[in-house]
Amino acid sequence: MRHLLTTGAALFLATAAAAQQAADAVQPEAATQGAFEAISPEVAAALEAKFAGTPVEAETWMVAAANPWAVKAGADVLAKGGTAADALVALQAMLGLVEPQSSGLGGGAFLVYYDAESGTLTTLDGRETAPLAATPRLFQDGNGEPLKFFDAVVGGLSVGTPGTPALMEEVHLRWGALDWAELLAPAITRAEEGFAVSPRLAGLIEGDQERLGRFPATAEYFMPGGTPLEAGELLTNPDYAATLRAMAEGGTRAFYTGEIAQDIVDTVRGAEGNPGVLSTVDLSIYQVKERAPVCVSYRAHDVCGMGPPSSGALTVGQILGMLESYDLSAGPMDAEVRRLIGDASRLAFADRGRYMADSDYVPVPTEGLVDAGYLAERAELLAGDDALSEVAPGAPAFDHALNWADDASIELPSTSHFVIVDGAGNVASMTTTIENGFGSRLMVRGFLLNNELTDFSFKSHADGVPIANRVEPGKRPRSSMAPTIVMKDGTPVLAIGSPGGSRIIGYVAQSIIAHLDWGMDVQQALSVPHAVNRFGTYDVEESTAAEDLSEALTAMGYEVGSRPLTSGLHAIAIGDGLQGGADPRREGIALGQ
């Protein structure tokens, strides 16, 4: 798929050198290439394409993810005729080994899957659940005051029942063609033979020594003998290999019941200083849930993704739905375009904070929030010239009382996103997480446990009114993850998503706008310097062309802050052929054939 560049896009490309500098600052290009190019000539070529700003092109199948080892695991499956579902299993198993800080068996995930044979789009919820023993006051002290964020994160209290293993198995049962054990084998081999610690992993260990050092199993794995692992060091993980072997032989029953489940529970409940309340019952009753996809019309496309408990598709959809009636063609360096996107985001985040949570527990006005009439009404608020001086939630149509207080949850960036298209045209877009970098910092059986429960609001009420996203037993914390498939006339044309906490929403919305409005190919779209607004402050990406917007945005009335905005976008555009892009801010690649 190719587009002509608009004026705005051309203007952006004139500042591409500055964007590349920012990417280099976050993830030095030479170090990334050096770390992975020996995997295969195809991997080396894909890294070179990414850093040259060129999409990878293919005819038949493609995969893009955050780590070249994981991409290769998926690509090998696709090359031998496996489905996107098969590739997902192999890729996720490998990702949990080589990028353990972001996702894995101890975490959760959301999947958007297009099945080419039936022409159907399915969304699967593999989100973690709160333990049955959890209460709305889980993250409050004896006086009902919210705990400090990292006091809650590090240890057992934040650990929800993992969903990723069950999701992998469900996906394989529904759409897989190859043998389950065969799909786990490459990660088992890699765990036993070892892999070189990546520059990104080494850097994150270096910066997190104090928290990683609190728990002996975690400290010993990431800082053997007290010394943090360095980039390039060969790392094996025999415990992870053993866990995967148990799953290969016994399915995920071997994970959710028996010795592995007991070890998870003992680790959570025994976490020194901050024990949790997870039980073997929580693990044994865990279920993946199929949810209705949330789709919003934008520029004659349908942008489809994951509904509650994720706020991803609803918030991305609200932003795009409000922008539908505005002309954004002036491109990413136009302050007026940024005002429109920024205030549409603020309005969407106001609704998100009030209404979005696990719809199995609280009534969520899902249809009302993305109703075209409602969004057109909200879009009228964007008609001025300056930043909105006040932003409040709207009143979407709904047949329940909507008396919720505004949310107070904190989300910090981590997570991973991958996209896969197989030879039959099946498409997978999956965002996968253990929440914070290194999750709860608790490690068991070769994998880290999530801290997903801190995606709940720590406050349960405000002024006596309950908060929709409060903790409740068995409930799934609200997410920002936005795995997306964009459809045109019922057929997928783009699969995309990103990590980044609640900034995921801005990263995904901007990239879709870059592709559809600014005419950029997928690699250009992912490389656009970020400007993200959630709650009022306009964050512009440090050391990039986005900083040039600061003066004009300040004059419009925004508070502007410059900071690293390390998205991890991966995307595949599907047209006559396939085009893949990988975020230059991280270590990933796209590979295809």
Taken in order 552, 553, 559, 564, the sign of the CA dihedral is: negative
**Does 480 contact ligand GLY by CB under 6 A?**
yes
Which of 243, 252, 415, 432 is an active site residue? 415
Query: What is the C-alpha separation between 125 and 314, in angstroms, rounded?
Result: 15
Interface mask toward ligand GLY for 500-539; x: CB under 6 A? -x--------------------------------------
Residue (413 or 584) nearer to ligand GLY, CB: 413
CA dihedral for 128, 131, 137, 142, sign (positive or negative): negative
For residue 208, the surrounding DSSP H or E stretch is none
- Annotated ligand binding at 479? The verdict is yes
Residue 411 as a binder of ligand GLY (CB under 6 A): the answer is: yes
With CA atoms as reference, report the closest residue to 425 among 485, 513, 340, 507: 485
Does 464 appear as a known binding residue? no
415 near ligand GLY (CB under 6 A): yes
- Number of residues in contact with ligand GLY, rule: CB under 6 A? 10
Is there a binding annotation on residue 455? yes
Give yes or no: 415 in active site.
Answer: yes
From 1-9, 368-376, 478-486, 581-589, give the range in contact with ligand GLY by CB under 6 A.
Answer: 478-486
Q: Is 444 helix (H, G, I), strand (E, B) or coil?
A: strand
Residue showing tokens 């060129």 = 54
- Alpha carbon distances (Å) from 301 to 254, 298, 411, 494: 42, 5, 30, 10
435 binds ligand GLY (CB under 6 A): yes
Query: SS3 letters for 485-528?
Result: EEEECCEEEEEEECCCHHHHHHHHHHHHHHHHCCCCCHHHHHHC
Collapsing DSSP to helix, strand or coil, 154 comes out as: coil
Work out which of 102, 158, 198, 479 binds ligand GLY, going by CB under 6 A.
Answer: 479
Hey, how many other C-beta atoms are within 10 angstroms of the C-beta on 226?
9
- d(C-alpha 500, C-alpha 60), whole Å: 30
Using CA atoms, how far apart are residues 398 and 128, in angstroms rounded to an integer?
27
CA distance 443 to 447: 5
Pick from 7, 76, 224, 65: which is nearest to 593 by CA? Answer: 76
455 touches ligand GLY by CB under 6 A:
yes
Query: What does the block give as tokens for 533?
Result: 């607004």
CB of residue 411 vs ligand GLY: minimum separation in angstroms?
Answer: 5
Query: Is 502 marked as a binding-site residue?
Result: no
How far CA 180 is from CA of 108, 171, 255, 425, in Å, comes to 19, 11, 15, 21
Q: Which residue is nearest to ligand GLY (CB)?
A: 479
Q: For ligand GLY, which is the closer residue by CB, 83 or 480?
A: 480
Query: Which residues have a catalytic role annotated?
Result: 415
Residue numbers in the known binding site are 127, 455, 479-480, 501
Residues at the interface with ligand GLY (CB under 6 A): 411, 415, 433, 435, 452, 455, 479-481, 501
Q: Residue ranges for the binding site for L-glutamate?
A: 127, 455, 479-480, 501
